[in-house]
A and B are shown apart, each in its own frame.
Chain A
Amino acid sequence: MLIVSCPCCGITAEETEFHAHGEAHITRHTVGSTDDQMETYLFMRKNPKGVHFERWRHQNGCGKWFHMARDTMTLEVFGTYSAQTYEPPEKLLAEIDAKRPGWRDTA
């Protein structure tokens, strides 16, 4: 069972306080989008063996959503960060680069 740090309230707690909500940084497509864009938006998910960016909620805590970068194989948590962003922070990406060289090629 994972331990997770909530960047919104600063608590580090076990997974049972949280809820995972799948892949993060998905672009919402809507009226005016093509069918292919809609398919990508609604159904296509990465499911990588390795680095994954996810959306979580501190459900039994402050109630806020946030993002987490995690290795799906080793369960290492690279970091958590605000949900109010379109992409992971540069600093976090650099840390992941250092720990998992070449991960972007397979992500």
Chain B
Amino acid sequence: MSTRLATGGRLLNKSKPVTFQFNGKQMSGFEGDTLASALLANDQMLVGRSFKYHRPRGIVAAGPEEPNGLVNLGDDGKFEPNARVTTTELFDGLSAQSQNHWPSLEFDVGAINKHLSRFLPAGFYYKMFIHPRPFWKYVYEPIIRHSAGLGRAPKTRDQDTYEHFYAFCDVLVIGGGVAGLEAARSAALSGARVTVIEQTAHWGGRTPVDGGEINGAPAQDWIDATLAELQGMENVTLRTRTMGAGVYDHGYVLGYEQLSDHAPHKAGPRHRLWRIRAGHIITATGAIERPLSFAGNDIPGVMLAASVRDYVVNYGVSVGDRTVVVTNNDDAYLTAIALKHAGLDVPVILDARVLALDSDAMAQAKALGIRVLMGHAISSVKGGKRVTGVEVCSQAGEGAVLEEISCDAVAMSGGWSPVVHLWSHCGGKLVWNTANACFNPDPDHAPKGADGSQFVTTAGAASGSFQLDDLLNDAFAAADGVLRCLGMKLPKGAKSSKGERREEAPMAPVWLMPQGASVKLREKAWLDYQNDVKVSDVRLAAQEGFVSVEHAKRYTTLGMATDQGKLSNINGLATLAGALGEDIPAVGTTTFRPPYHPISMASIGGEARGVAFQPIRRTPMHDWHEANGAQWEPVGQWRRPYAYRQGDESTHDAVMREVTNTREKMGLLDASTLGKLVVKGPDAGKFLDMLYTNMMSTLKIGKCRYGLMCSDNGFLIDDGVVARIDEDTWLCHTTTGGAESIHAHMEEWLQTEWWDWKVYVANVTEQYAQIAVVGPNARKALEKLGGMDVSKDALAFMEWTDGELGGFKCRVYRISFSGELSYEIAVDANHGQAFWDALMVAGNDLGVMPYGTECLHILRAEKGFIMIGDESDGTVIPQDLNLHWALSKKKEDYLGKRAHQRSHMADPNRWKLVGLETTDGSVLPDGAYAVGEGTNENGQRNMIGRVTSSYHSPTLGKGIAMGLVHNGPDRMGEVLEFPGTDGKTYSARIVDPVFYDKEGEKQNV
């Protein structure tokens, strides 16, 4: 059984016991424990079930590479699925639940799959669930979805907050082990701005566990001293609990800081995503131990050797009373020695190697009385939910059992692989290292930055330097090289720290144990614990032709679990290479993609949630609208009132009331969102003549003109009223969505094509609150406010003037988008609400009511006025909308003019704007298509037109619509069929798009 030892546990504060729950069971641990160490201390080795076969799974590792120990953490607003027990720091009151089992962890129905494992090989899902097609949606997917998945999805809203932080430095060191600290110390000596981030809560990495001296003193002393030195330097920032999640182009790094996961009651954000821009990045990310592939290597109690050591030394936890060590290298001997020193039994070390001489570690182990069997291997591990023993065989053979040894834990080591993820994220290549049987970063193919030079350098074990002296030298050299890249340098006399060297015997690559393991054994030799991929699966993939590593990965799902193959990838590659008869480097690796380790989605969102999810643009009268029943319509980022509901009325009824009231009495529209661009300069007229399809240079001062804008492709992009302010100044109104884009469009032409033209543009959209006062009583209301003459003679239709109304300085435009008598009045935004209030008072006995965008739409549709975005969609040209009158024939050139002559644009068969009226007065579905005779090559009915706008007109008491129809204007009176998505077919007659006041008398009074 696994238990807490009486002594040891360098990371624990044994004076601070904490209690927690696992699957409802009360357990205890200490401050400083991880959830994994605390579970093991409570003899909870079994922590979950595997993905496919629901096999019992125990803790394998002690760090982020852990594939099995995933739990649902917390409740309600603090709920988090798939939390890794090895990286979860224990706190008082922690509550965890194991995942992927039903009804319980101990007894799981899905485990039946393991008896079917012969029938569930790699690619099973692809092969089995392909026919018949209708089953995909209704049978297979629901079944697979039900049985798949690990953690539960949260049901309640996350109650925590998250934030970003932009940081800049010369050198970013990722990893706070001894190599990271040495690199940081060295780089900082130059005065460079250095930031060091470490994913755990502790500095020094695994060196304090592994032992060895630095500069002649215990490693921990050096770590403490170096840390103190760094803390004392102004130019150094140190952050623990901050993981380097990804390296991106041009020195961009995402750092993931967990602020309160270990202390959930702490105020402030839970996670902080550091958006770091570094001159150079040093990845001192260490190395990860590889498992060995032998039958039963997934039975709870089989763990990585160094992790077994970590639990003993860091947490005072023994994972078993009797631990068999199985290895192909010297490092695992340290585990045997550590266990022995802790008073635990190590019945045997099975070393797959055959060596002529004993190395230091072997000699030391033997001196402690540990039995060492060279050239030996595990044939099979015995046990179900817990290891009970191992069957020993010869590594060279096929697995014939020589001896059975009882034990309750197995510590395995297949060698070490540098953590190259961050090196590789942005293009760093790898090179195969034969001596250590791993991929090392290839310094000749480093990631390249903005100036084309290297911007990532590895240090220490991440470079493939595993010996203490080597890795410190490597870290120092890394810092030296990085400073040179940055044009800085180490001070004279700066020296590398000196690490102790341990004489080691070479490791031997072992990809399968025993070497000639039978099919029966291979089917129980796991590569990927979380996704249940075995040696036999990878071989099958190769046999079935998935010879590319990227294909084999996807076919088998090797390395595709939440651990992203940290333990399984190299073993998987080697297995694939073996099956293909190729060298491992020839097979290559799959692509490393960020993040290194899963990060919370909420941290990526940062502050962008709730009210701040996106900017909501508000007009000066926003609060009034809100308080007066506005139903909001998003228009870009603006919120505009769609309609103002009164009492219990429906939104539809409100719209109908607003239309009728505006036509009969008076309505107010908040038009502040329309774009307003001032264009000024000696060449402004010439410039506007290029931008608008019609002539603007001839517009008289004091007059307004409706204009169209096309892109140089000829497509209609915007429209609006232009007012001539003075000799060289025009004010251009754009659509609500067009303010920024048309401003940019103007500046683009001015800066990149006609840069010698003397024109300045300013966007003054938000300077003004603009209110449309519309309806037969509009003039009376303004006259009540008083201050200027707003009569027809003083201010005729399509004129503007500056003046005062009710004491408000304003600019009044007599323009109409409704067909009614209408004034659009602009006042300074800071007076907008007061002016609106004054209008409401002035209009009180004239029947004033505010109206929203839907009313605006109906008013304009009744008049046959087009709306950008409804009648236009980026493929429509003015000619399609019968706007030929707005296309100047006098002008030699304007944007879009030449494009309109292209064959497709000049084609007489284009769809053109018409009015549509249903034969029964109902409302046509917006967007419905008209169908014609015959079918196209896909057997679909031919389409001859579509509805672009459709409303119920209360003025006319029937449905009205506009649409684009093939040869539409030539087909007046014809009835078209529009199949709706509701299964009905609508019949509508082609009519003139101007439904109301065809002569335009009402607006011109």
On A, residues with C-beta under 8 Å from B are 1-3, 14, 21, 28-33, 35, 38, 41-42, 55, 57, 59, 63-65, 71, 74-77, 83-84, 99
Contact = CB atoms under 8 A, between A and B. Distances in A.
Given A1-B249, A2-B250, A3-B450, 18 more contacts: A2-B249, A14-B277, A29-B898, A30-B712, A31-B892, A38-B899, A42-B899, A64-B751, A65-B752, A71-B452, A74-B448, A76-B448, A77-B450, A83-B751, A83-B752, A83-B755, A84-B751, A84-B755
Interface in B426-450: 427, 448-450
Contacts of A59: 744
A74 B277 CA distance: 18
A83 B448 CA distance: 27
Contacts of B450: 2-3, 75-77
Contact of B898 (A30, A57, A84): A30
Top 5 nearest A-B pairs (CB, nearest first) are: A76-B452, A84-B755, A65-B751, A30-B898, A3-B250
A31 B712 contact: no
A35 B448 contact: no
Contacts of B250: 1-3, 75
A57 B744 contact: yes
B452 A3 contact: no
A29 B713 CA distance: 11
A99 B452 contact: yes
A75 B249 contact: yes
Contacts of A21: 748
B712 A28 contact: yes
B678 to A, nearest CB: 15
B751 A35 contact: no
A59 B892 CA distance: 32
Contacts of A42: 712-713, 899
A42 B277 CA distance: 37
Contacts of B747: 63, 65
Contacts of B902: 35, 38
Given A65-B751, A75-B250, A76-B451, A31 B898 contact: yes
A3 to B, nearest CB: 5
29 contacts: A1-B248, A1-B250, A1-B252, A2-B249, A2-B250, A3-B250, A3-B251, A3-B252, A30-B712, A31-B897, A31-B898, A32-B898, A33-B898, A35-B902, A42-B713, A57-B748, A59-B744, A65-B747, A65-B751, A71-B452, A74-B427, A74-B448, A74-B452, A75-B249, A75-B450, A77-B451, A83-B755, A84-B751, A84-B755
Contacts of B248: 1
Interface residues on B, range: 20 to 34
B933 interface: no
Contacts of B907: none
A91 B903 CA distance: 43
Nearest to B714: A42
A76 B751 CA distance: 25
B687 to A, nearest CB: 15
Contact of B277 (A3, A31, A84): A3
Interface string B238-251: 00000000001111
Contacts of A30: 712, 893, 897-898
A9 to B, nearest CB: 13
Contacts of A64: 751
Nearest to A13: B277
B452 A38 contact: no
A42 B897 CA distance: 13
In the complex, which of the residues A29, A35, A74 has the most CB atoms of chain B within 10 Å of its own CB atom? A74
Nearest to B895: A30
Interface in B886-914: 892-893, 897-899, 902-903
Contacts of A38: 898-899, 902
Nearest to B690: A30
A2 B251 CA distance: 9
A65 B748 contact: yes
Nearest to B250: A3
Interface string B245-284: 0001111100000000000000000000000010000000
B53 to A, nearest CB: 41
Between B248, B250, B252, B748, the greatest number of chain A beta carbons within 10 A of the residue's beta carbon is seen for B250
